Amino acid sequence: MNLETGSDKAIADSVDKGLSRKQRVASPVQFREAYDQGRCYRGRLVTMWLRTGPDAAFRLGVVTGRRVGKAIERTRARRLIREAYRLNRSRFCGVFDVILSARSTICSARMQDVEAELLTLSRKAGILKK
């Protein structure tokens, strides 16, 4: 008899939605390439940069500068951005690396606001599935 409890189902659902190290942009060179390519989409809470190239694989890079706020605020901003991306990753298409840069207004934003803006910017960039 194979009964799945609520917590087992939650664990099973979250396994494939994780954000592993292979799915993150970590190299400063790759961040610089994204900025140099100039595919930039600005929103009220975040700025999205797209990077193309032979090694682009729809990875995520998150940037929070000191203008965002103190360390605790920057950490919260990074968590909000990563979670919004992680939850909606299956809705994106294309072969890009995505760099999301937090803006200072993100400190007062809710998760729903960040998620809505990410989807709006993705639609403008043409990477949202139809």
9 lies in some domain: no
Range of the domain at 101: 22-125
The two beta strands, 97-102 and 60-63, are parallel
Determine the residue type at 14. Answer: S
pLDDT tens-digit profile of 67-79?
999 999 999 999 9
pLDDT tens-digit profile of 16-46?
567 788 888 888 999 999 999 999 999 999 9
5 lies in some domain: no
Is residue 31 within 8 A of residue 65, CB to CB? The reply is: no
**Taking residues 120-128, what's their average pLDDT?**
94
pLDDT tens-digit profile of 8-21?
444 444 445 677 88
Is residue 49 within 8 A of residue 34, CB to CB? The reply is: yes
pLDDT tens-digit profile of 89-110?
999 998 899 999 999 999 999 9
Q: Tell me if the pTM is above 0.85.
A: no
- Structurally, the chain folds into a number of domains equal to 1
4 lies in some domain: no
